[in-house]
Chain A
Amino acid sequence: MMAAAQATQPAVGDAYLVGRAQEGYLDAYELLVQRHSGMAYRVALRLTGNHHDAQDVAQEALIAAWENLPRFRSGSSFPTWLYQIVTRRALNKVSRGRPVSSLDLLPALADPAAEPATQTERNLAVDAVTDALLALPFPQRAVIVLHHFEGLSYAEIASVTGSTEPAVRSHLFRARRALGTKLEEWR
């Protein structure tokens, strides 16, 4: 019922939906979940390294966001807040965790125009990046994912991680070097 009707709904802002959800309109929160569950899963996958953990983290984060909605400050950004919850849950999962496996992290990039040899080379390169990313310490992995994969600014990352912009930049310098060094070795 919700999905079919939703297909014709115009875009309303997150702030509107959060406000209604805080007033008890559960279907407003359902629209937020539909809108942001992809992001939650994607970030969780890149931080934890496997689909199972990523699904757990994404689900827990979205439920935790619902439970903590009364504390959400109006005027704040819901996606930034959700990034914060997902990142913390992913850290908890990884800290408890089993060794990460990059074997099932992402599907191979499919480029119908590419020659098979080129496609294989690209997939190997992507695997190398995935392995290198998962080999980074969690704080460095988080800033790389949030900035270079999710497009967050230094200020937004500082807000997500409870840090400062200079600290974020410093982490990013180190993370890029570490990632680049591993990619150089692979080449």
Chain B
Amino acid sequence: MNDPPLVGPVGRPLLAAVTLPCGADVDLLLEQVADGRGTDRDAHQQQCVHCQAALSEFTALWVPVTELAAAPVPAPPGLAAAVMNQIRSHIGDVWYTLEITESGAIRIAARIVAALARDCARMIPGVRVALGRSTQGSSAALAEKATVGHRHPHAAVGVLGRTAVVDLAVAVTYNDPAHQVARNIQRQVITTLRDQVGLQSVKVNVTVDDILGDDER
């Protein structure tokens, strides 16, 4: 630790020099070591005491840099969740109305319905990846209008009030028949949303947009 630094020509520290006495470029030697090639010595370097000394010196010098680079730096817990919470706060929720009584309205967010559908789809044999999204387009606008400004109990409950439209994008296993897997998804998701949430009318759009081999895990 207290060894004096190797000196280059004219007694200056090595890194103050541009070349070694043999003509070797100091920057290129430092690059060689820093890129992990310090022991890959070419024909000249194998014979040259100046190059060998410089490569050894730079190797010792660069060790703490390599160690720092290899040190794990875990992300703070909650970073990913904080990012997603902020993104979700900017996206307006679409609501499905389940029931309206004198006591008030029971609603469920469309994104919750999509998450339930997605998690259900992931359990279906043959499904490797499943992603879900909230209702989009004209159905979303209609569902929203059914719940806004509502005044009369039961008036908004009907086809729109209890209808959900869910889009699922899935990747399936190569050998499983995609069409059958998609049908199974639709059937199971519809049952799950009816049983767990009380949604009576559910449309499930399944897009199979990737096929993964067994070794793609």
Contact = CB atoms under 8 A, between A and B. Distances in A.
Interface in B91-144: 91, 111, 114-115, 118-119, 122, 128-129, 131-134, 136
A69 B210 CA distance: 21
A149 to B, nearest CB: 4
B71 A126 contact: yes
A184 B61 contact: yes
Interface string B54-85: 00001001111101110101111001101110
B61 A9 contact: no
A16 B171 contact: yes
A106 interface: yes
Given A20-B131, A176-B31, A33 B76 contact: no
Given A25-B132, A27-B115, A177-B15, A5 B122 contact: yes
Contact of B210 (A12, A29, A125): A12
A38 B74 contact: yes
Interface residues of A, number: 56
A67 to B, nearest CB: 9
A173 B29 CA distance: 10
Interface residues of B, number: 56
A180 B120 CA distance: 56
Contacts of A37: 75, 79-80, 83
Interface string A1-32: 11001001111100010001001111111100
Contacts of B15: 177, 180-181, 184
Interface stretch (A51-59, A70-78, A160-168): A51-59
A11 B5 contact: no
Interface string A37-81: 110111001100001000100110011001000000000000000
Give the one of B31, B64, B86, B132 with max A CB within 10 A: B64
Given A27-B115, A122-B67, A38 B87 contact: no
A59 B81 CA distance: 10
Interface in B1-57: 1-3, 5, 13-16, 27, 30-31, 34
Nearest to A172: B31
A179 interface: yes
A41 B77 CA distance: 11
Contacts of B61: 180, 183-184, 187
A159 interface: no
B67 A126 contact: yes
B67 A125 contact: yes
A63 B30 contact: no
Contact of B73 (A26, A41, A66): A41
B1 A148 contact: no
A113 to B, nearest CB: 14
Contact of A129 (B68, B74, B82, B131): B68
A101 B206 CA distance: 52
A28 B129 CA distance: 10
B169 interface: yes
Given A148-B69, A176-B31, A33 B83 contact: yes
Given A148-B34, A176-B27, A183-B65, 14 more contacts: A20-B131, A20-B209, A25-B132, A25-B169, A26-B84, A37-B79, A38-B73, A106-B68, A106-B73, A109-B71, A126-B68, A148-B65, A148-B69, A184-B14
9 contacts: A5-B119, A5-B122, A38-B73, A59-B79, A59-B83, A66-B87, A129-B68, A130-B68, A176-B30
Interface of B: 1-3, 5, 13-16, 27, 30-31, 34, 58, 61-65, 67-69, 71, 73-76, 79-80, 82-84, 86-88, 91, 111, 114-115, 118-119, 122, 128-129, 131-134, 136, 167, 169, 171, 209-210, 212, 216-217
